[in-house]
Amino acid sequence: MAGSIRLFLPHPLAPGAALPLAPGQAHYLGTVMRRATGERVRVFNGVDGEWEARVLSLVRNEARLEAARRLRPQAPEPDLWLAFAAVRREATEFIVQKATELGVAALLPVLTARTNPGTPNAGRLAAIATEAAEQCERLTVPAIAPPVRLTALLAGWPPARPLFAAIERQAAPMLRPHAGPAGLLVGPEGGFAPAELDEMRNHPFVIAASLGPRVLRAETAAIVGLALLQAPGGG
């Protein structure tokens, strides 16, 4: 199969299935990657595994593929959620990209007392997550929830899913690998406000955790926390 192009397609995958591409995907395939009719690419939809598909037609911003054969079956992935305070745009996009590469199942932007003004662009974040999933060869694209206040996040959190909160400048056990469903909560630059810390203590599922002796930037904390939770011996 020529090249290593992977595309996420929201269509059922089965032998002979017709797979229309969105205009942006058709442009990428034909104009950017210079693929032609008859060539092969890899596709996935988050449900049916990864498939080899043949380019049936490709004209400007219109393209159609045909599913040929399954290359990989769908496999379990980490059941890990990342709740993170929205920071400046570039850092938020970086968090979404790297969390996708690290296998996160769901991304939950949170609005806190010290969150930077502005609401994350949902469409752009979804596009970044999709592209990262295509490039890192995972079989799913993480779900991205609408931003909510920290109070609402905690009120709606499943009590059976532990939520490890990265707390800086306070005595807390070092974050350790965890097997099974879990969540990681990372605060904004400047950390959580005192009232927010008090509210977290009222929820038994919130577990304060340290990421080490240094104060990390929000985007660095998200990567470090996800790596620690999934280290060998964990999930």
Mean pLDDT of 119-123: 84
d(CA 118, CA 132): 24
| Among 149, 133, 170, 148, residue whose Cα is nearest residue 46 | 133
Does a structural domain hold residue 211? yes
106 and 57 within one domain: no
43 and 129 within one domain: no
Does a structural domain hold residue 26? yes
Does a structural domain hold residue 92? yes
55 and 91 within one domain: no
Does pLDDT of 207 surpass 50? yes
Does a structural domain hold residue 1? no
Q: How does pLDDT run across 46-87, given as a tens digit for each residue?
A: 999 999 999 999 998 899 999 999 999 999 999 999 999 988
pLDDT at 2: 42
213 and 129 within one domain: yes
66 and 87 within one domain: no
For the chain, what is the largest distance between any 2 Cα atoms, rounded to a whole number of angstroms?
61
Task: Identify any residues that bridge with 13 across adjacent strands, giving them in sequence order.
Answer: none
pLDDT at 189: 86
| Count of domains for the chain | 2
d(CA 27, CA 146): 29
Mean pLDDT of 168-191: 90
63 and 89 within one domain: no
Last residue of one domain, picked from the residues 43, 72, 101 = 72
Does a structural domain hold residue 234? no
Lowest mean pLDDT among 9-18, 23-32, 142-151, 168-177: 168-177
DSSP string, the chain: --S--EEE-SS---TT-EEEPPHHHHHIIIIIS---TT-EEEEE-SSS-EEEEEEEEEETTEEEEEEEEEEE-------EEEEEE--SHHHHHHHHHHHHHTT-SEEEEEE-TTPPSS---HHHHHHHHHHHHHHHT-S---EEPPPEEHHHHHHHS-TTS-EEEE--SS--PBP----SSEEEEE--TT---HHHHHHHHT-TTEEEEB--SSPPPHHHHHHHHHHHHTSTT--
31 and 116 within one domain: no
pLDDT at 235: 43
Does a structural domain hold residue 157? yes
d(CA 66, CA 14): 9
Last residue of one domain, picked from the residues 45, 72, 99 = 72
Q: Answer for the pair 134, 155: CB distance below 8 angstroms, yes or no.
A: no
Domain holding 142: CATH number?
3.40.1280.10
Domain holding 63: CATH number?
2.40.240.20
Q: Answer for the pair 183, 163: CB distance below 8 angstroms, yes or no.
A: yes
**How many Cβ atoms from other residues are within 10 Å of residue 56's Cβ?**
14
92 and 33 within one domain: no
What is the rounded average pLDDT for all residues in the chain?
A: 93
205 and 116 within one domain: yes
Q: Answer for the pair 111, 149: CB distance below 8 angstroms, yes or no.
A: yes
Does a structural domain hold residue 235? no
150 and 84 within one domain: yes
108 and 27 within one domain: no
Domain of 84, in residue numbers: 80-229
Mean pLDDT of 91-110: 96
Last residue of one domain, picked from the residues 49, 72, 95 = 72
Does pLDDT of 234 surpass 70? no
Instruction: Measure Cα distances from 136 to 6, 18, 34, 103, 196 in Å.
Output: 9, 25, 21, 9, 35
96 and 35 within one domain: no
